[in-house]
Copies of this chain bind each other. A is one copy, B any other.
Amino acid sequence: MPPNQFAFRHSIDVRFRDCDAMGHVNNAVFLTFLEQCRLMFWQTLTGTGSPGSGIILARVECDYRAPAYFRDVLEVRLNVGSIGRSSFALNHEIVNLATGKQLAEAKTILVAYDYSAGRSIPIPPETRTLLESVQSGGWAR
């Protein structure tokens, strides 16, 4: 898949409450936007309504490029990155839809997890197949 090609896009309306005393969207809220995109992607991909069932967030990296403001409409974009034994990466960008300007780049690491055993597990085969289909460009919404 070409580097600027994203498999999933989710739009977000910036709320007044998303902003802080600096007058722009607070840094922590960018993770809320990533989460929103990730869960909508996950539901579309797997049909699983329950968010994050068996998949937990292990790491996030976010580079802030430009501010977002109240009333902006953003698009959070998502690609599947590297897939390991029990973890995989999602690569993101957040753009202002009206201007096309990139506001942030981010990467999250998700881990397949057995809650009852309290430890990571290999990515289930059917999930791996789905992730690979996204990664190879064979799936996009």
Contact = CB atoms under 8 A, between A and B. Distances in A.
A35 interface: yes
A29 interface: yes
- Each complex incorporates copies of this chain amounting to 4
A57 B27 contact: yes
A54 to B, nearest CB: 12
A21, A22, A70 pick with most chain B CB within 10 angstroms: A21
Interface in A14-30: 15-17, 19-23, 26-30
B20 A36 contact: no
Given A31-B28, A35-B27, A64-B57, A51 B15 contact: no
Contact of A59 (B28, B39, B64): B64
